[in-house]
Each structure stands twice: as C-alpha cells, then as structure tokens.
Amino acid sequence: MINYCNQKFSKSSVTAEALGALDEINSFLGLCKVQSSYLELKLGNESFAEIVHEIQKNLFIIQAEVAGADKTIEEKKVTELEEIIEKVEKELPPIKSFFVSGGPADITAWQQAGAGLGAIFDIARTIARRAERRVIAASEEILQPSLPIDNKSENSPLGGRKKEIGKHTKSYLNRLSSALYIFARYSNHVSGIMEEAPDYR
C-alpha cells in the first residue's frame, strides 16, 4: 500500500500509476533545471531554471490532488504557462509539427551543450505526456460503475476515485508538454541548431 498525503492506495491501482508518473516527470524536471542553470538559459530577465522550478512546485499540487487532497490547479497557473509558451514561441522560426530530437548528426562542438539541453527537454516532454495519460486514466476510472467504490473513504481500496480531477489541472498537464516542446526548440535555437523535420523515407 502507498501512503501519500494520508490516503492509502494499492500499489497496482491506476491512482498509484498516475502518482508514479507525475513523480517521474517532476524528478526529471530537476535534471532539466540543473542543465538550464548550467547553460544560463534565459527568457528576458527570467532564467529557465526558475521557470522549471515553478512548474515542479505546481506538479506537487497536482500530485496532492491526484492523491485525494483538497488541492487543484487554479486557472491563473494555466494562463501563466500559456503566456510563457507564447513568449518563447515569438523567438522561434515558424513551428513545424515534428522535428528529429537532438539536432542533425553533424553539429559542432560548441553546439553540443545546447543540443543536450534540447534533447533532455524533449525527453521531459514525452514523460510529461505519459503522466498526462496516467492522470486521465485515473480520472476516467470513476466513470466505470462496475468498480467497487468504497463509500466510506475518499478513495476505494482499489484506488477508485470519488472525485474528478480538476479541469484546470488537466489543462495544465496538457500545456506542460507543449511548453517542454517549445523549451526543447528554444534550447536548439539559441545554440544555432537547425531543426530537421522527419522525411518519412
């Protein structure tokens, strides 16, 4: 059994899966923050390390919410994240739907640190997407009437939720992977790395 914020879950429940995936993206962002700090990546006056640190703190709120605590992401935080995405996007060439992560094969030596940061932001994006899928799965579970929901506690012994995940929390997780995508592109851009789209050949 997992004990998180005074709620207990079976380790094989969908809630435990969602909490585990959120934990994975939160800790992986710790690495992104350290590398951003090393490269002194900035957006205007604000460092990317500060931006990532703020995201990590918001993920702790989501982790508490998924665990059953009376917390949720406020709309204001979604708007803030969208504003950051917009700001970074303005610095970039027009967007393509996909690009091959890590830059082309022939980058120069001084581009490697930036390409490395771009690569780990892109890895973070894919882990964030996994966390989003797991939270949605945990959120959908309550809609299945066949689950043995325990009416006496906030969560059933099987991890069935009685409370929907907040709308803005879902939006935040959705925007998070967009933000990490744009951070990966920005890291490449400031290092002079050209993006290459896949050619499907």
Residues of this chain that interact with a copy of itself (CB under 8 A) are: 11-12, 16-17, 20, 23-24, 26-35, 37-38, 47, 49-50, 52-53, 56-57, 60-61, 64, 71, 98, 100-107, 109, 112, 115-116, 118-120, 122-123, 125-127, 129-130, 132-133, 136-137, 140, 198-201
Give min distance, CB of 92 to a copy of itself, in A: 18
User: What φ, ψ does residue 46 adopt, rounded to 5°?
Assistant: -90, 135
> 122 vs 151, which CB is nearer to a copy of itself?
122
- Closer Cβ to a copy of itself, 90 or 200, answer by number: 200
**Nearer Cβ to a copy of itself (115/151):** 115
Minimum CB–partner distance for residue 151 and a copy of itself (Å): 24
**Residue among 16 and 176 whose Cβ is closer to a copy of itself:** 16
Question: Residue 125 CB, nearest distance to a copy of itself (Å)?
Answer: 7
Under a CB-based contact definition with an 8 Å cutoff, are residues 14 and 144 in contact?
A: no
Question: Which of 85, 180 has the CB closer to a copy of itself?
Answer: 180
201 token code pair: 């050949």
To a copy of itself, the closest distance from the beta carbon of 71 in angstroms equals 6
